[in-house]
Amino acid sequence: MQTDKSHHRANIRYQPDENPPAALVVGLGLQLAILCLAGIVLTPAIVIRAAGGNEAFLSWAVFAAVAVSGVTTVLQAVRVGRFGAGHVLLMGTSGAFIAVCVAALVQGGPAMLATLVLVSSFFQFILSSRLSLLRRILTPAVAGTVIMLIPVTVMPIVFGMLNDVPEGAPALAAPLSAFVTIVVIACIALKATGALRLWAPVIGVVVGSVVAGGFGLYNGALVAGASWIGLPDGEWPGLDLGFGAVFWSLLPAFVFVTLVGAIETIGDAVAIQRVSWRGDRAVDFRTVQGAVGADGVGNLLSGLAGTVPNTTYSTSISVTELTGVASRRVGVAIGIIFILLAFLPKALAVVLAIPHPVVAAYATVLLSMLFVVGMKVVVQNELDYRTGLVVGVSFWAGVGFQNGVIFPEYFADFAGGLLQNGMTAGGLVAILMTLFVELTAPRPSRMEVEVGTEALPKIREFLAGFASRGGWGKAMTERLDAAGEETLLTLMRQDEEGEGTGRRRLRLTARKQGGGALLEFVAAAGAENIQDRITLLGTGPVEAPDEREISLRLLRHLASRVHHQQYHDTDIVTVHVDAPPGSPAGS
């Protein structure tokens, strides 16, 4: 039987609810802000330059992107209502949107881009509020496939920037600048450890810019002409509320990439909880919902401001684990520094002046790592043949549609050219195949009752019938019966100790899994995490345990694993029960 063992993380110096010295907060906040500023600025630069946009709009988009990143980073840290994670989650522009944002600018202009970002943000709010309902569709296989297809759609744009240099530039200027940038980033990332490795992209861009400057490629005039303090030269592009053919043809792609960004945020929100506390804690999915909600606020503000969308940056997770400082005050400091930097045009101009070959080299490394992230997402759970088929077919379908080689005479103009984007096409294939697997899977046994003592006989009868149909003997039947009873008693005690006064509906499903059974209890949200409580009990004896502790201890010994996912609207307790040794496994 697997058990959770609490252990002390000695490297955590300050938990989220603790207050480090002000100097440490400001210093760490400044380091993280400088570390990520280039990424925040370069994404809109890549988008607007690839689409042929003017410098005035670029200056406005960068200003708005940095300001919105600051506001939403603060929101993630302080948590307002159901918005924000309450952790250090740095926000910045999202490379996943590069391809669709370029298409929006080319086909509809800055106002169309703003409208699409604004409208697509509402889907993140829907996802945040209904996250528990979509957990079987937005699987790691779907998310990983889409993430792997992002570089497939963006790389042609990036490669086109490699030779984008002024007329008359030396022949070696572009290739040498790009080569040096990639080599420096790769060498530091491969050989350095600790904090130096986190600075690899920044150092690579600086060295590449120095080499490019030797050929006269660095736009020093842009930096010299920028004011120290003030607003950008550009102005708000407005919104395109005509909702014409361009809007409807691009909206599905924007919604899809928005969901991808939300999936990335979900992963970051889970990871930051893992590295922020000294002791083991179960993942609080209410925190995850808050992170996705704040991500939606960021995209809403980005749309209103007329800039590219944003998402969480995993850099804050790495730095938190490295420094052991997880205090929310660091997140507030980072956000305030971003807001201040937005009003320093000269600081932003230093980044905007970076030559295109250097930017392309940086983006190549970034997108290459993004492809690997997608692979990791796919294989983070057990990769069986079904998942492998979904990922393989979806990925290559996306590649084929992106390159226009899959029956273009039928699909090139389908739904306004929806399938011309490989990320959208591959993602849709992955979702459809996942839905097919879910809809054709053997239906689990299911029942619904109200949480209360009167439900116990019904649950016992239900589990006895399930065990009988599964071909299990008396020992497994008794184990399922006991596990069901203890889980119900624990949920009942949650109701008694919680603030709510109404009776909760409980849906219990049971299915065979491997050599055992998987019981899933779905009810309205409770107050305390059962998984955490089981972990805190430890394995030693206690004096005069209360009734709830007895139930939890019994549940821990009856089940091989207990997982409790808490959402704002739902509690999901998953209990894995292995068959006793020698028990018939059933047919």
pLDDT at 218 over 60: yes
What does the alpha-carbon distance between residue 1 and residue 355 come to, in Å, rounded to a whole number?
A: 58
pLDDT at 328 over 80: yes
pLDDT of residue 326: 82
Model pTM score: 0.69
Strands 516-523 and 505-513: antiparallel
- The structure tokens listed for 557 are 């010994």
User: How many Cβ atoms from other residues are within 10 Å of residue 553's Cβ?
Assistant: 18
pLDDT at 484 over 70: yes
Mean pLDDT for 298-318 is: 86
pLDDT of residue 526: 55
What does the alpha-carbon distance between residue 45 and residue 41 come to, in Å, rounded to a whole number?
A: 6
Mean pLDDT for 436-465 is: 85
Give the residue from 341, 357, 292 showing the smallest Cα distance to 123: 292
CB 75 within 8 A of CB 344: no
Q: pLDDT band at residue 546, thresholds of 50, 70 and 90?
A: very low
Q: pLDDT band at residue 74, thresholds of 50, 70 and 90?
A: very high
pLDDT of residue 486: 82
pLDDT of residue 304: 94
User: How many Cβ atoms from other residues are within 10 Å of residue 138's Cβ?
Assistant: 19
Q: pLDDT band at residue 115, thresholds of 50, 70 and 90?
A: very high
What percent of the chain stands above pLDDT 90?
12
pLDDT of residue 75: 94
Q: Which of 3-12, 124-133, 151-160, 416-425 has the lowest mean pLDDT?
A: 3-12
What does the alpha-carbon distance between residue 552 and residue 530 come to, in Å, rounded to a whole number?
A: 8
CA angle 200, 263, 107 (to 5 degrees): 85
Mean pLDDT of the chain: 79
User: How many Cβ atoms from other residues are within 10 Å of residue 578's Cβ?
Assistant: 19
pLDDT at 174 over 80: yes
What the chain holds in terms of domains, given with CATH numbers, is 22-438 (no CATH), 445-578 (3.30.565.10)
DSSP three-state, residue 307: coil
DSSP single-letter state for residue 93 = E
pLDDT of residue 533: 46
What does the alpha-carbon distance between residue 88 and residue 313 come to, in Å, rounded to a whole number?
A: 10
Side chain identity at 271, as an amino acid letter? A
Q: Which of 46-55, 233-242, 406-415, 549-558 has the lowest mean pLDDT?
A: 549-558
